Amino acid sequence: MPPEADAWTWLADLILGLHAAFILFVVGGQILIVAGWALGWAWPRRWWFRLLHLLAIGFVVLEAWFGVTCPLTTLENILRTAAGAVPYENGFIRYWLQQLIFYTAPGWVFTVIYTVFAGLVALTWLVYPPRRKL
């Protein structure tokens, strides 16, 4: 493998880590919001945190509804191709679910999951609203 392939692979892995962190923020953020509600924590009600969280899942849902590939997946695929590796065929989450738990599903299933999860985030926003000042 040529030395420049290592740099492209490193950058692709960096994007992979960023993508995983984004997913952790969306899923883990919702878990922490609900836990904070149950345990009486103040910080999960912070306006900026809740707004970023809502915007993050909203972005995912819009991508799914309009059939747009995530920009992080696109960038990672470009970098992996530059490194001489095979890019994802069906997107980041579908790929990793297949790799981790051998689960495959059509794209519409993920759109439904993202939409239902966004509904949960919106419902939480309404019943446990953020506060501008704590």
**C-alpha closest to that of 25 among 7, 64, 51:** 51
Q: What is the pLDDT of residue 108?
A: 86
Q: What is the pLDDT of residue 83?
A: 87
Q: What is the pLDDT of residue 90?
A: 62
CA distance linking residue 31 with residue 39, whole number of Å: 12
- Contact between residue 81 and residue 87 where contact means Cβ atoms under 8 Å apart: yes
- Contact between residue 121 and residue 52 where contact means Cβ atoms under 8 Å apart: no
Through-space distance between the first and last CA atoms of the chain, rounded to whole angstroms: 54
Q: What is the pLDDT of residue 94?
A: 60
- Tokens 């999860």, located at residue: 117
- Write out the chain's pLDDT in tens, 134 residues: 566 768 888 898 888 888 889 999 999 999 999 999 999 999 999 999 999 999 999 999 999 999 998 899 899 889 989 988 877 666 666 666 556 555 567 778 888 989 999 999 999 999 999 998 76
> Which residues touch 93 (CB under 8 Å, ≥6 apart)?
23, 110
The model carries a pTM of 0.83
Q: What is the pLDDT of residue 34?
A: 97
Q: What is the pLDDT of residue 123?
A: 97
- Nearest 10 degrees: CA dihedral of 27, 31, 32, 38? 160
- Where are the chain's structural domains? 3-127
